[in-house]
A and B are shown apart, each in its own frame.
Chain A
């Protein structure tokens, strides 16, 4: 673990070899995971979804300093739009939903894959448009006003979705059946989720390396100064939100198909689970860092699965405790902490360290 912290100081050749090795290990694990442990394929798929969650939350929350509690909106939008695009061309949507999933539309393989692809694409586009419209308004708000506004947004979206009859209202919507056996289906979606997480990571890394990354970091450090220097801050903020929305919507489309059933408040606009986890994972790993969200998502997902197994019923309470503990005692996250290379353990002396942790995190 200390090696990761030291790597920036080492010679570029050595560190790039190390990075390559890291990538190779992760790619290998990602590609072989479901083949070695086929029973856990869905859990592995969710691991990559979590990575996508944490990475996209970190665009605003970490790199730009805008805490958003409402990113789950784009996840939900993506899920619904994707499902609608998959179903609507082949049958009457209202009728399909009023049958509560008992109507089998019997898609052929071609129809299914084409529908899924088109669904994810349309979902991403719709989410980007929504993010653009919402963002140009809401992102003019600063600090805590923005945070609480997004908190309201997430809940409102769920409530509204639960009131619209054509997408199944409160009783939810069923996604089309996969034309194949269950094992193939799980593996198929696993690789899609894996690919999405990888693409998200690479795309964000590319973006952070350029002008865009500098701009949003400038907004985080001092928005007024950034504006005075001639940055169109609201434009950059909106673009950042659109990017997050794009990847989140695709993950929403995939998760909708993995779960198979879209409940407006428990699956799609699940503020109390996915919405909270996004924030928690990014902070746990170290917000404002590239690897922090990935690490945070991995650790969180494993912990969460253990919670689910060993704490029957109390897992969500334990999660609440975890959030408070992490935010209060460990706000700089694992990577942030490693960067500072303080050998002390969690607790007492964090007070002095946390102030400095904000700056070097990039």
Chain B
């Protein structure tokens, strides 16, 4: 709590924390958007989301240890995860898409455990990161430091989000995805191969997570068991923003990043993850309370 006093004494720290949070939050936005896509189109909540992020990180880390520049890991991880996502859909997810929600929830939960343990087995439980070799920007006489890599991550996220919007709006597959999200049965009648659309959506989601993971390994660290935090963050962001609301997802991701950073500073870094999970509970409670009030007023 003494840090709170520090914050009042040096307001410039606040700028640092919030800027940092927003830049990191942009990475959360990628994974969250993938989750919103799968949720909206397939009605599956993918608990393995965070594990995809971790796999993306490990792909980049592996390339990095082979001497490839980690920034090239972003497209590489996206491609690897796209293929992996497609494979997982063909092996597991397509069997649970039309079943009730608990089955798909439990199945992706099982997937997440499986991936965690596989990563742990292959890469051990050590914390890993990849150095992008980029400079750090100093503002306000060095009071505020912004690593370039975070700015790169921020710009990349916005660029990818922009591409996604264009893709969903104008490409043939994007239109098919949106049609399936609106009404899968009608889409099938009109000749859309919904199974392929689902596969593409799931693979696309995995690719987004892969890109996010590549950015995480450069800005932060990865560890086989950290995935769940990303799943929860994505879920929280989507719940706050609502399905199919890309600007909302990005804004609430920024908000989460900043809030988390501030909380980590004030409460101490060891409570940052606990704060994320605690916030999830609060967000869900507020949501259910609001829904309840709406119901009361409507009827």
Contact = CB atoms under 8 A, between A and B. Distances in A.
B113 A272 contact: yes
Contacts of B271: 159-160, 163
A68 to B, nearest CB: 11
Contact of A283 (B96, B106, B225, B268): B106
Interface of A: 65, 67, 69, 137-138, 140-141, 143-145, 147-149, 151-153, 155-156, 159-160, 162-163, 170, 272, 276, 279, 283, 313-314, 316-317, 319-321, 323-324, 326-329, 331, 354, 358
Contacts of A320: 110-111, 113-118
Contacts of B105: 67, 144, 147
A257 B271 CA distance: 28
B15 interface: no
Contact of B109 (A65, A321, A323): A323
Nearest to A156: B277
Nearest to A143: B101
A316 B281 contact: no
B209 to A, nearest CB: 17
B82 to A, nearest CB: 21
Contact of A148 (B45, B92, B113): B45
Interface string B96-128: 100111110111011101111110110000000
Contacts of B121: 313-314, 316-317
Given A138-B281, A147-B102, A323-B113, 10 more contacts: A137-B285, A148-B45, A159-B277, A272-B116, A279-B106, A283-B106, A317-B114, A320-B117, A327-B107, A354-B103
A152 B117 CA distance: 19
B234 to A, nearest CB: 10
Contact of B45 (A137, A144, A149, A283): A144
Contact of A156 (B101, B274, B289): B274
Nearest to B229: A155
A328 B96 contact: yes
Contact of A151 (B96, B116, B228, B278): B228
Contact of B114 (A148, A313, A321, A329): A321
Contacts of B109: 69, 151, 279, 323, 327
Nearest to A318: B117
Contacts of B106: 67, 279, 283, 323, 327, 331
A324 B114 contact: yes
21 contacts: A65-B102, A67-B105, A69-B109, A148-B45, A151-B109, A152-B232, A155-B228, A155-B277, A156-B273, A159-B270, A160-B271, A163-B268, A313-B121, A316-B117, A316-B121, A317-B118, A320-B116, A327-B109, A328-B92, A328-B95, A328-B107
B211 interface: no
Contacts of B111: 320, 324
Contact of A141 (B235, B274, B288): B288
B278 A156 contact: yes
Contacts of B100: 358
B280 interface: yes
Contacts of A328: 92, 95-96, 103, 107
Interface residues of B, number: 47
B284 interface: yes
A323 B114 contact: yes
A195 B239 CA distance: 44
Interface of B: 45, 47, 92, 95-96, 99-103, 105-107, 109-111, 113-118, 120-121, 225, 228-229, 231-232, 235, 239, 268, 270-271, 273-274, 276-278, 280-281, 284-285, 287-289, 292
B6 to A, nearest CB: 20
B227 to A, nearest CB: 11
Contacts of A151: 47, 109, 228, 231-232
Contacts of B289: 140
Contacts of B277: 152-153, 155-156, 159
Contacts of A329: 95
A224 B200 CA distance: 36
Contact of B92 (A272, A324, A326): A324
A147 to B, nearest CB: 6
A257 B158 CA distance: 53
A7 B281 CA distance: 44
Nearest to B98: A351
Given A67-B105, A151-B232, A320-B114, A163 B45 contact: no
Given A155-B277, A160-B274, A272-B225, A149 B284 contact: yes
Name the residue in A163, A327, A354 with the highest tally of chain B Cβ atoms < 10 Å from its Cβ.
A327
Contacts of A155: 228-229, 232, 273, 277
B235 A327 contact: no
A322 B88 CA distance: 16
Nearest to B267: A163
Contacts of B276: 152
Contacts of A272: 113, 116, 225
A319 B268 contact: no
Contacts of B232: 148, 151-152, 155
A159 B273 CA distance: 7
Nearest to B292: A140
B235 A162 contact: no
A170 B269 CA distance: 13
A314 B121 CA distance: 7
A301 B52 CA distance: 30
A323 B114 CA distance: 8
A266 B47 CA distance: 21
A323 B116 contact: no
Contacts of B292: 140
A163 B106 CA distance: 30
